[in-house]
Amino acid sequence: MSLERGDAPPAPPRSIDIARPSLGEAERRAVEAVLASGELVKGQRTEAFEAAFAAAHGARHGVATNSGATALLAALLAHGIGPGDEVIVPSFSFFATAACVLGAGALPVFADIEPDTFCLSRASVEAALTPRTKAVMPVHLFGQPAAMTGFEELCARRGLTLLEDAAQAHGAAIGARPVGSFGTAAFSFFATKNMTTLEGGMVLTNDASVARRLRMQRNHGRDGGALHEIAASNFRMNELAAAIGLVQLGRLPELNARRRANAEYLGHGLAGVVVPRQAPGTTHVFHQYTVRVPPGVDRDGFVAALNLQGIGARAYYPVPIHRQPALVNGGHALRVELPETERASREVVSLPVHPALEAADLERVRDAVNRLAARAG
């Protein structure tokens, strides 16, 4: 088809974002109700959100915070983790996983991942144990639960604290048991997560004494009243965030079901890349849909080619934490060999999978990936 003089060129296809918050009229009404009430912090909505989120994840106590990072830091501090302690973490994760350990004054010790799930390897964790190990922190990466029953047994046998970095795993489960119910767990409600409060976090625990320390950690060292029992900061969630969170929590099963349906479509349609594997007996909630390009393929070029077609693919995470300048230059990166972590960082590509995708969007993603993979092969 040729264009006549004065004709407008055809519009480019709409951009397909890597993530998009799902917010609507119910969230707007919830925010307006908070503004009308005048109760903006430390109110009934935060308490209701804490109770509802904990119940949905099989935990007795929920303590809301103002971010996922402060949730993780508060969890570490509430367990008394600090200088001289080591916490075993994956290096293939978002930087906050290790940064919060450093923020508590402890040392992150990096272990490798399982190649099929991208989650922490128990064998690698056992090899990393030392007399200074205080805790193990598996990450439920991309919405896939880590192998928590094994870590639960290991930590119980060795007298270690089990922490869950569940920032990407709202509603994920192992059998009938939700993530967040195995150890003390930290969730994030950042704007791109499976459910959002725009920004915010939550710590879940089954231990009432840990819950009390968490409340003090997020409220200047006091658990109500005038006495400041510890030196702590302000990690509080506000009532606007909690109101949005209550609405989003009610929608979470529907939003996760859409993610799983989108992931199933991609899994059946993609060729030439390694599609993500759901570990048997688990519920994966696909915070990200992460494939691997074949060895030898230019992953960064692959991502760039998708981006040029308006497809918001990203590489999570191209630089493992143990190679990040903040750790290397600060002398915190122990000399470790993490072959599966290094391989994943070279090969992974995350594709759009969020609930707002339409059928035509999924077809475009599928066809673009298949064309690129065919050329690369």
Q: What is the CATH number of the domain that holds 333?
A: 3.90.1150.10
159 shares a domain with 305 = no
Whether residues 270 and 151 share a domain: the answer is: no
8 located within any domain = no
Report cis status (omega within 30 of 0) of the bond before 317.
yes
pLDDT at 3: 37
> Whats the size of the chain, residue-wise?
377
Residues 158 and 261 in one domain: no
Residues with Cβ within 8 Å of 221's Cβ and at least 6 positions away in sequence, in order, are 228, 229, 230, 231, 232
pLDDT in tens, 99-131: 999 999 999 999 999 999 999 999 999 999 999
For position 128, which CATH number holds?
3.40.640.10
Same domain, 207 and 282: no
Q: Does residue 110 sit in the same domain as residue 200?
A: yes
Nearest C-alpha neighbor of 76 from the set 260, 236, 218, 286: 218
Asked whether residue 294 is domain-assigned, the answer is yes
Residue 158 sits in the same domain as residue 191:
yes
Q: How far apart are CA 216 and CA 371, in angstroms?
A: 54
Tens digit of pLDDT for each residue in 145-191?
999 999 999 999 999 999 999 999 999 999 999 999 999 999 999 99
Q: How many domains does the chain have?
A: 2
What pLDDT, on a 0 to 100 scale, did the predictor assign at position 324?
95
234 and 269 both lie in a single domain:
no
CB atoms within 10 A of CB 349: 23
The answer on 272 and 214 residing in a single domain is no
- Using left for φ > 0, alpha for ψ between -120 and 50, and beta otherwise, residue 270 falls in beta
Same domain? 237 vs 267: no
Residues spanned by the domain of 325: 253-376
Is 5 inside any structural domain?
A: no
Regions in the chain scoring below 50 on pLDDT:
1-4
